[in-house]
Chain A
């Protein structure tokens, strides 16, 4: 007999199935793609900050490499470009301050844009919870969404920063920068930029993701006036 018991215990109700990361990724990726304009604006902050950082770091290593060559005509060009060829290090505190400030601005920018998008989507989050989404799914999908924007923004920023740095160096010093390009230093510069960009986007995505998950499903029922 398959008759349900008269007084079922709550233990008979199973726990909800947790959505794996891979499925959450598919859902978020589709969202980012369809909201591409909105995502691009969020990404722009990261792109600019990481482009600036990459540009500074690459320019730094290129100039170092050119100074080390110690060629007469090149030294002339370097001095014309305002480089102090006799000082050992060119990283001054103003440059560092500028980079740090731009990174903080970028961090605040992503958090702000993500919080906005959570507010816009309160009803959507409520609806998903009515359909059986767990808080953990909401956290995952928002975390993936802002990380995706962060990673793509970082990648784009690195490419832009690198290209601009090489272009400007070529304009100043002709064929020298590409002929004597400091591959090792540039690679570690790119590594630093990638690390900072990814760290930044992860830090920026934690708060909005948890804020989104705290929204109540009853919000979905509310009718917009």
Chain B
């Protein structure tokens, strides 16, 4: 496989936090590659370093050592303004708690991401309406986030994440605040974005439903890559996944 096929490369990344006297090793020399156009799930219990790894890939946190490359660009070499550009154009963020701006309508929430990309407001609103239509919310353009359901809020967030046509969607526990059925719909929608737009999906999750949609699963434990598996290699049996008992 060529270097070029990897959209995200994590190379020997360590992260050490200082908490008073003691050092906390959130990540220990972790390395992994994400192939362009794949649906990747990062699994791991809370405290495993999953979120830290996630923040590194989004350029929200910097490694103590090692490097993260997005599309071949070393994030640590970018200026704050270039980093903002990467976040705006290359990465679409989806959060567990949706993180919509409560004072903005669905349309404005999506349009603001477009405005940050330098698109004039009128055009941004047209693009936003089109994208909301695409996620099935064409009839909710002028509703505030508080006036729609959780699943619909996450749909708005997904519209906001894809409106700038990014190469990656970074979704941190996107189904964490949703019920079973709605969670499944959101997973399907994210999978659809991969299929129709060719966007690479990276999710952090401990939702087993996510596994069936994934092409690759990475298990993180104690700041290290415990194992990875491709689709088909994961044995799913009742009550256990790949020999692991469900908690």
Contact across chains for A6 and B101 when beta carbons are under 8 A apart: no
Contact with B along A32-44 (1 / 0, CB 8 A): 0011000000000
Of the candidates B55, B85, B96, the one having the most CB atoms from chain A within 10 angstroms of its own CB is: B85
Of the candidates A23, A123, A131, A223, the one having the most CB atoms from chain B within 10 angstroms of its own CB is: A131
A15 and B79 contact, Cβ closer than 8 Å, known pairs A27-B112, A127-B99, A129-B87: yes
B96 partner residues in chain A, CB cutoff 8 A: 223
Contact across chains for A128 and B112 when beta carbons are under 8 A apart: yes
Of the candidates A35, A123, A128, A218, the one having the most CB atoms from chain B within 10 angstroms of its own CB is: A218
How many residues on B have C-beta within 8 angstroms of the other chain's C-beta atoms? Answer: 47
Would you mind naming 19 contact pairs between A and B with Cβ atoms under 8 Å apart? A8-B73, A16-B81, A16-B82, A23-B115, A23-B121, A31-B104, A124-B102, A126-B99, A130-B58, A131-B87, A131-B88, A131-B113, A131-B160, A132-B84, A132-B85, A132-B164, A134-B80, A220-B99, A224-B97
- Whether A17 is near chain B, meaning CB under 8 Å from some CB there, is yes
Partner of A223, one of B55, B84, B97, B101: B97
Contact across chains for A15 and B81 when beta carbons are under 8 A apart: yes
Contact across chains for B71 and A8 when beta carbons are under 8 A apart: yes
Shortest beta-carbon distance, A28 to chain B, in Å?
10
Contact across chains for A13 and B86 when beta carbons are under 8 A apart: yes
A221 partner residues in chain B, CB cutoff 8 A: 51, 54-55, 60, 95, 172
A7 and B87 contact, Cβ closer than 8 Å, known pairs A15-B81, A30-B103, A127-B101: no
A14 partner residues in chain B, CB cutoff 8 A: 82, 85
A15 and B82 contact, Cβ closer than 8 Å, known pairs A7-B72, A8-B71, A221-B51: yes
B80 partner residues in chain A, CB cutoff 8 A: 134-135
Shortest beta-carbon distance, A138 to chain B, in Å?
11
Not counting A8-B73, A218-B61, A220-B95, a sample of 4 additional A-B residue pairs whose C-beta atoms are within 8 angstroms of each other reads A34-B144, A132-B85, A132-B87, A221-B55
A170 partner residues in chain B, CB cutoff 8 A: none
Contact across chains for B95 and A134 when beta carbons are under 8 A apart: no
Residues on B lying within 8 angstroms of A by beta carbon are: 3-4, 51, 54-55, 58, 60-61, 71-74, 77-82, 84-89, 93, 95-97, 99, 101-104, 108, 112-113, 115-118, 121, 144, 160, 164, 172-173, 176
Alpha-carbon distance A123/B97, docked complex (angstroms): 10
The 7 closest A-B pairs by CB, nearest first: A132-B88, A17-B118, A16-B84, A34-B103, A132-B116, A16-B85, A15-B81
Alpha-carbon distance A10/B81, docked complex (angstroms): 12
Alpha-carbon distance A8/B115, docked complex (angstroms): 27
Partner of A10, one of B73, B88, B104: B73
Partner of A17, one of B78, B93, B104, B116: B116
A131 partner residues in chain B, CB cutoff 8 A: 87-88, 93, 112-113, 116, 160
- Whether A185 is near chain B, meaning CB under 8 Å from some CB there, is no
* 8 Å CB interface, A103-136 against B: 123-124, 126-135
Alpha-carbon distance A223/B97, docked complex (angstroms): 7
Q: Across the interface, name the chain A residue whose C-beta is closest to B173.
A: A223
Contact across chains for B82 and A10 when beta carbons are under 8 A apart: yes
Contact across chains for A19 and B116 when beta carbons are under 8 A apart: yes
Contact across chains for B55 and A13 when beta carbons are under 8 A apart: no
- Whether A95 is near chain B, meaning CB under 8 Å from some CB there, is no
- Whether A4 is near chain B, meaning CB under 8 Å from some CB there, is yes
Contact across chains for B103 and A10 when beta carbons are under 8 A apart: no
Partner of A35, one of B85, B95, B103, B116: B103
A10 partner residues in chain B, CB cutoff 8 A: 73-74, 77-78, 82
